[in-house]
Chain A
Amino acid sequence: SYVLTQPPSVSVAPGQTARITCGGNNIGSKSVHWYQQKPGQAPVLVVYDDSDRPSGIPERFSGSNSGNTATLTISRVEAGDEADYYCQVWDSSSDHLVVFGGGTKLTVL
């Protein structure tokens, strides 16, 4: 089945830009979705279809996808952005229709 690879952790100072990558074979041909999960809470969708934002998600959250890497970018990082982030794609070629990356812990220094 399709595999998504994320770095286990990313650290950034407040006010800086965080970039979280999601690697997969020719992932640029797929739609990538990103979820934010804070401790003890359910995941929340922050970016869908590579770069669109649901209503209520700040413009500081953006996404891109090309080649073998999708990227979630968080600009002007705030303490409240500290969370785990997961990328997700659909893989209709296997029984595992929904595939998640392993998750990236974003630490705000």
Chain B
Amino acid sequence: QVQLVQSGAEVKKPGASVKVSCKASGYTFTGYYMHWVRQAPGQGLEWMGRINPNSGGTNYAQKFQGRVTMTRDTSISTAYMELSRLRSDDTAVYYCARGPLMGLRPLDYWGQGTLVTVSS
């Protein structure tokens, strides 16, 4: 069965960076995009970007351009999302989610989420 297992909660100070991992199993890792979506406390879902695990190519939402870096390690079927220059309003649960390589299909499997708290 498809599983996306994310790394544990993080507490960071403003200005620092955080790197969240997402380990995939139960499917061919390079056959699907990996997306990252965040959710601030009490707020809705916000798309951050995606990575093609096959090519390493990325698409980032403009809001996060210059601060976010998405990478992958195909040898261990793991995707990473690094967010730099953290601010208090980056406090959120960060999710990875599997998306299609082609077409307009949904994000069909999601990780359990990683809480990132930014506080001095």
Contact = CB atoms under 8 A, between A and B. Distances in A.
Interface residues of B, number: 24
Interface of B: 35, 37, 44-47, 50, 59-62, 65, 95, 97, 99, 104-108, 110-113
A89 B104 CA distance: 8
Nearest to A31: B104
Contact of B44 (A30, A45, A86): A86
Interface of A: 30-31, 33, 35, 37, 42-45, 48-49, 54, 86, 88-90, 95-103
B59 A95 contact: yes
A45 B108 CA distance: 6
Contacts of B104: 30-31, 89-90
B61 A96 contact: yes
A48 B105 contact: yes
Contacts of A49: 105-106
Contacts, number: 62
B46 A100 contact: yes
A95 B60 contact: yes
A58 B45 CA distance: 24
Contact of B113 (A31, A42, A101): A42
A108 B65 CA distance: 40
B62 A97 contact: no
Contact of A54 (B59, B60, B61, B108): B108
A36 B95 CA distance: 15
A99 B47 contact: yes
A35 B95 CA distance: 14
A98 B107 contact: yes
